[in-house]
């Protein structure tokens, strides 16, 4: 079986889907790597070759000979065209946001697996690329804020005077939020956090942060995710959290609800009440933003408060982000391969739930509905 690792094409994307150290976990598989695929993540072609891979010069040759392509970013229409007919691809895919590529994959009789659709069960934790990349993003978000803030994070008692620690508020205490809390604590900030899920409270407290008690009912969804929230709920939350936002030097927002626009937690008047020089890092920028002023891909300054739209932060720390992603990839690939052959078992819930397209048939219900709607 031939597995291919292309060079990622997206702007700013520096990660690679498989790193040399992971090849030992895939015995019996011929790994082909596009020349320079790991370069930006600091994995050289020579390291891949030493680990047993074959380096291939062009994307055409690589895609054309692979049974399975593993990627970070969703395949583009052009990449789908390069696939050999009937080949498989494993990547982040966000099928409803990439309908043209899904359509083309179906036309190519391809099979496509999406990391976002891996169910959140214990057996699948090692394949959870959303979590591995959110860990990197939460960490980076705090470092970006600390770099931009014109103040120290820790308490300092010096001969030249005492400096109060920075106050950091983290909204959304999932994987990225918890990592942001831990990182801000390590830097010495006073950290508080809020989440709509009950389980988040103990996790926040165990990291030495204060959990904000907001007299709001919990909003639980399935699989550890938050549930959909009404406009009234979000409005009440905004009211209750306003004074905490105003008192913060740094606000990191990570709140998300699967399949929906990110809830607006920080409104313009709330930003106006913050001290000039304060920083908001919005990790939900790509799905609409948790701050009303967030502009995806841009930095906005309002009354001296800097609102930073965080893009794909994991891509900005490519070495470790790729190592973690590669473990997710190799673990998933092991599920797909039997005795050296690509034989996905669609009775396995991890395989079946993450399959968007199977041999040209669009199996994911949300993607199929979106394609039908786009067609009518």
Contacts of ligand NAD in 259-288 (CB under 6 A): 263, 265
Residues noted as catalytic: 120, 125, 128, 131, 225
* Nearest distance in Å: CB 125, ligand NAD: 4
**In the complex with ligand NAD, which residue's Cβ is closer, 120 or 338?**
120
Residue showing the smallest CB distance to ligand NAD in the complex: 174
Structural tokens at position 225? 């995710």
Q: How far apart are CA 339 and CA 318, in angstroms?
A: 32
Contacts of ligand NAD in 157-186 (CB under 6 A): 171-177
**In the complex with ligand NAD, which residue's Cβ is closer, 98 or 328?**
328
- Do 149 and 166 form a contact (C-beta atoms < 8 A)? yes
Structural tokens at position 375? 């067609």
**Which residues have a Cβ under 8 Å from the Cβ of 62 and sit 6 or more positions away?**
4, 6, 32, 33, 34, 56, 69
Return phi, psi of residue 55, to 5°.
-90, 130
User: What are the helix (H) ranges across the chain?
Assistant: 45-50, 59-64, 77-82, 99-107, 129-148, 175-186, 199-206, 231-246, 268-272, 318-336, 349-354, 365-375
224 binds ligand NAD (CB under 6 A): yes
* Rounded CA Rg of the chain: 22
209 binds ligand NAD (CB under 6 A): no
* Binder among 23, 41, 166, 255 for ligand NAD (CB under 6 A): 255
- Do 51 and 19 form a contact (C-beta atoms < 8 A)? no
Region of 58-66, 107-115, 120-128, 329-337 interacting with ligand NAD (CB under 6 A): 120-128
Region of 8-16, 63-71, 126-134, 182-190 interacting with ligand NAD (CB under 6 A): 126-134
Region of 4-12, 60-68, 188-196, 357-365 interacting with ligand NAD (CB under 6 A): 188-196
Region of 47-55, 124-132, 157-165, 301-309 interacting with ligand NAD (CB under 6 A): 124-132
124 binds ligand NAD (CB under 6 A): yes
* Binder among 257, 313, 355, 358 for ligand NAD (CB under 6 A): 257
Number of residues that bind ligand NAD (CB under 6 A): 32
Structural tokens at position 290? 């948790």
- Do 360 and 354 form a contact (C-beta atoms < 8 A)? no
293 binds ligand NAD (CB under 6 A): no
Region of 71-79, 149-157, 225-233, 296-304 interacting with ligand NAD (CB under 6 A): 225-233
- Do 266 and 251 form a contact (C-beta atoms < 8 A)? yes
DSSP 205-271: HHTT-EEP-------B-STTPBPP--HHHHHHHHHHHHHHHHT-SEEEE----TTSPPP--B-HHHH
* Binder among 17, 83, 87, 226 for ligand NAD (CB under 6 A): 226
242 binds ligand NAD (CB under 6 A): no
From 69, 51, 92, 49, select the one nearest 5 (Cα to Cα).
Answer: 69
95 binds ligand NAD (CB under 6 A): no
128 binds ligand NAD (CB under 6 A): yes
What residues make contact with ligand NAD under the rule CB under 6 A? 120, 124-125, 128, 130-131, 134, 171-177, 194-197, 199-200, 224-226, 229, 237, 254-258, 263, 265
């Amino acid at each position: 079986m031939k597995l291919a690792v292309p060079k990622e094409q997206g702007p700013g994307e520096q990660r690679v889907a498989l790193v040399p150290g992971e090849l030992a976990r895939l015995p019996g598989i011929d790994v082909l790597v596009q020349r320079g695929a790991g370069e930006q993540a600091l994995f050289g072609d020579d390291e891949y070759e030493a680990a047993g891979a074959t380096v291939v010069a062009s994307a055409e040759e690589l895609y054309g000979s692979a049974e399975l392509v593993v990627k970070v970013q969703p395949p583009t229409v052009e990449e789908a065209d390069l696939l050999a007919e009937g080949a498989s691809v494993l990547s982040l895919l966000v099928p409803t946001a990439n309908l043209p590529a899904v359509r083309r994959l179906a036309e190519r009789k391809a099979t496509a697996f999406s990391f976002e659709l891996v169910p959140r069960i214990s057996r699948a934790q090692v394949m959870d690329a959303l979590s591995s990349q959110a860990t990197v993003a939460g960490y980076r978000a705090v470092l970006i804020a600390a770099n931009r803030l014109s103040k120290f994070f820790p308490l300092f008692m010096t001969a030249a005077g005492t400096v109060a620690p920075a106050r950091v508020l983290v909204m959304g205490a999932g994987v990225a939020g918890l990592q942001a809390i831990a990182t801000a604590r390590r830097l010495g900030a006073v950290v508080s956090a809020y989440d709509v899920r009950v389980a988040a409270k103990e996790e926040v407290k165990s990291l030495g942060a204060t959990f904000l008690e907001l007299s709001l009912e919990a909003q639980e969804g399935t699989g550890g995710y938050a549930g959909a929230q009404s406009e009234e709920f979000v409005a009440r939350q905004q009211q209750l959290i306003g004074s905490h936002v105003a008192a913060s030097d740094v606000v990191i927002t990570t709140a998300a609800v699967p399949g929906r626009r990110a809830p607006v937690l920080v409104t313009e008047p709330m930003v106006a009440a913050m001290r000039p020089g304060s920083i908001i890092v919005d990790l939900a920028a790509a799905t609409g933003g948790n701050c009303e002023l967030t502009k995806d891909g841009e930095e906005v300054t309002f009354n001296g408060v800097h609102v930073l739209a965080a893009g794909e932060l994991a891509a900005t720390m490519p070495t470790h982000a790729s190592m973690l992603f590669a473990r997710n990839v190799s673990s998933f690939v092991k599920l797909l391969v039997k005795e050296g052959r690509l034989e996905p078992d669609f009775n396995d819930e991890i395989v079946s739930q993450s399959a968007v397209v199977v041999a040209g048939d669009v199996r994911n219900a949300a993607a199929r509905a979106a394609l039908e709607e786009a067609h009518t």
